[in-house]
Structure 1
Amino acid sequence: MNDERTARILALISDGTLLASLRRVAAASDRDLDDAPVPPTRRSWDDAGLVVVDHATAAAMETFPRRRGVVLVCSGAAGLADWQAAAAVGAEHVIALPDDEVELLAVMGAAAEPDTGGGRVVTVVGGCGGAGASTFAAALAWTAADRDDPNVLLVDGDPFGGGLDVLTGLEDRPGVRWPGLAVEGGRVSARALRDAVPDWAPGLGVLSTDRTASGEPPSAAVTAVLDAARRSGTVVVCDVSRSVGPAAEAMVAAADLVVLITPARVGGALAAARTAEWAGARNPNTGLVVRGPAPGGLRGADVAAVVGIPL
């Protein structure tokens, strides 16, 4: 359930056609629309979850205090005057109606979710083939959900793997996989995402690749998922392929911590050193996990010295 503040949209629109389009989008998103006189009261300005203005009404709002969640809508492609009005009122989005109603719908959906913050992203990368990165990522996500984090998302970033849904026993469970994830306007609703993916355990969802669809997820979709997780306080564990691509780079770059895992073997350490160079160039917060057994007697410190990142 949305609270009253995040659910209410303050509409400060002078154009009847724009207002009609706004009403359609609000109805589709199940949001309450408050068609207020211009200028509105300070309380209604401050308390609304989202404020939508047009070029004419934006000028009347320039003296109001800046706030987050202001959108300027316009008829057709935005012109210079629209962008100037948006800058004057501090609008975060300029959206053309009716052409970009889907983008406005996404903005409304995101605004309905309180930005609690506190979400964290850990990305696991295999230093070499067969390092056990997927198993480690799954175990890490399970541990996080089991201990103290009620919202955890395990994200599959390996388009050439068997799928994390198979690893977690969810291959026959209905739910959204990467190819079925719709990202409109560069944003995704964290609540909708949690509801759409299959659950491995209470509070632990899995966003997997799909074995019937080839290719990695678009990097824009990856960024939208990770941003939504951060806003909602979700812990995300990403399992990234060693096959470098835009999605893998996005998962590494966005992580609070990149975990590089490698077996305690000379060949594995040498391969991991090259992977560490690639990961470290995109995220300096990279650490090493060394997996046993060590048939040659290599210690973790020995492997770390070869790889060049801390244990």
Structure 2
Amino acid sequence: MSPALPLLTAADGHGREARPLVVTGVPDLLDDLLRLAAAAGVTTTVATEPGALRRAWAAAPLVVVGMDRAEACIAAGLPLRPHVVLIGGHVEDGRVWSAGARIGADHVIFLPEAEPWLIDAFSDLDGLGLRGSVTIGVVAGRRGSGASTLAVSLALSGLRHGLHTMLIDADPRGSGVAPGLARLLPAAGDPPPGGTGQRPTNPFPPPDGAPPDPLGGGAAPSWPGLVARRGELAVVSWDLGVGPDVPVGPMATLLSTARSTSDLVVVDLPWQQDPAAALALSSCRTALVVLRADLASVMAAERVCAAAGRRCSDVRAVVRQRPSARLDPAMVSEMLGVPLA
């Protein structure tokens, strides 16, 4: 029997924070990862029990996790962080993609095909930043509640506040985010009626306390110029040719890319979860359930909240209230058993 691997190994106790962290208990995989790290000229910290390594997990510039330890990392409640790579066994194994989403992996790779890529990743540690990313899911408690409109509003708010934002339409059966964008995104580059050349009002005024910033030069300022100053917004939808269900593999890749490139990720989720939507929900820090303040909507939203709570630890209600509504938001929150957003 081979001797057990130590919980933590390093050449010495100095400079541990600067080392990439390798989390695996499989000797052959560990040998491969150490070989690739040596080829990149770096020394790694090796872990076998992630529950005891919270400080190393948060401080390492890069974390490489073997599939054998993925579930243990998830069970240990390690915080989501950028620059996590999961080493999968087989690309057809759906458990790999599910674990990658739940652990917050930026990349899911398979060896030996990805060895050159991983060597490059080990070599480029100085270029890695620990910018955090927040993923928020928005789902309707009942059809027609306005979840897609709220998702668009959140994305545009992130844009206004200078965040790199990605809006993901994960509901191919719904009306999509395009109607919401059409209503809420002003045509900043269009000249006013009559062609007078008058400058349009800035649709995204600076946050409170910030000095006013006029739109850029030129007779008709364009939307790209405004985006460059206020942040960036990427909108991702799906070709109708893929069918009614979004493929799980592309969704996992998209979520990894979103986390590594965006400050804020907003996911418009379907009312009824398919496997890809369940995967996206598992990656969310917060899930917002949108509903109207009426009894029928509350009864439908109870099931949605229960389903969301099985995959996301922070589920909140967004209650749309009308003057004629008999239920106030606090009552709706109590009935659903989730806090108000």
**Structure 2-normalised TM-score?**
0.52
What residue is the counterpart of 1:284 in the other structure?
A: 313
Query: Cα offset for 1:303?
Result: 1.1
Query: Cα offset for 1:167?
Result: 3.6
Amino acid at match of 2:170: G
What residue is the counterpart of 1:214 in the other structure?
A: 243
Query: Cα offset for 1:105?
Result: 5.8
What residue is the counterpart of 1:161 in the other structure?
A: 174
Quick one: distance in 2 between partners of 1:141 and 1:276? 22
Amino acid at match of 2:131: G
What residue is the counterpart of 1:131 in the other structure?
A: 145
Query: Cα offset for 1:115?
Result: 4.3
Asked if structure 2 preserves the Cα contact closer than 8 Å seen for 1:219 and 1:247, the reply is yes
Tell whether 2:260 aligns with 1:231: yes
1:95 aligned residue (75, 94, 111) = 111
What residue is the counterpart of 1:140 in the other structure?
A: 154
Post-superposition Cα deviations, 1:251-287, rounded to whole Å, max 9, x if no partner, equal: 2111111111101111001111111011011112111
Mean alpha-carbon deviation: is it higher for 224-233 or for 116-125?
224-233
Post-superposition Cα deviations, 1:62-95, rounded to whole Å, max 9, x if no partner, equal: 996217589xxxxxx9xxxxxxxxxxxxxx9663
Query: Cα offset for 1:145?
Result: 1.1
Structure 1 gaps of 5+ residues are 1-45, 48-53, 71-76, 78-91, 171-198
Distance 1:60 1:134, change over 3 A: closer
Moved runs in structure 1, 4+ residues, more than 4 A?
59-64, 67-70, 103-113
Post-superposition Cα deviations, 1:178-197, rounded to whole Å, max 9, x if no partner, equal: xxxxxxxxxxxxxxxxxxxx
Counterpart mapping for 1:256-267 below 5 A: 256-267=285-296
Asked if structure 2 preserves the Cα contact closer than 8 Å seen for 1:152 and 1:204, the reply is yes
Structure 2 gaps of 5+ residues are 1-17, 20-30, 46-61, 65-88, 90-107, 184-223
Report the count of equivalent residues.
208
Distance 1:288 1:241, change over 3 A: same
Asked if structure 2 preserves the Cα contact closer than 8 Å seen for 1:121 and 1:255, the reply is yes
Quick one: distance in 2 between partners of 1:111 and 1:296? 60
What residue is the counterpart of 2:210 in the other structure?
A: none
1:58 aligned residue (35, 46, 49) = 35
Amino acid at match of 1:158: D
Quick one: distance in 1 between partners of 2:258 and 2:296? 36
Quick one: distance in 2 between partners of 1:58 and 1:163? 47
Distance 1:118 1:65, change over 3 A: same
Query: Cα offset for 1:208?
Result: 1.1
Query: Cα offset for 1:205?
Result: 1.1
2:149 aligned counterpart, secondary structure: helix
Amino acid at match of 2:263: T
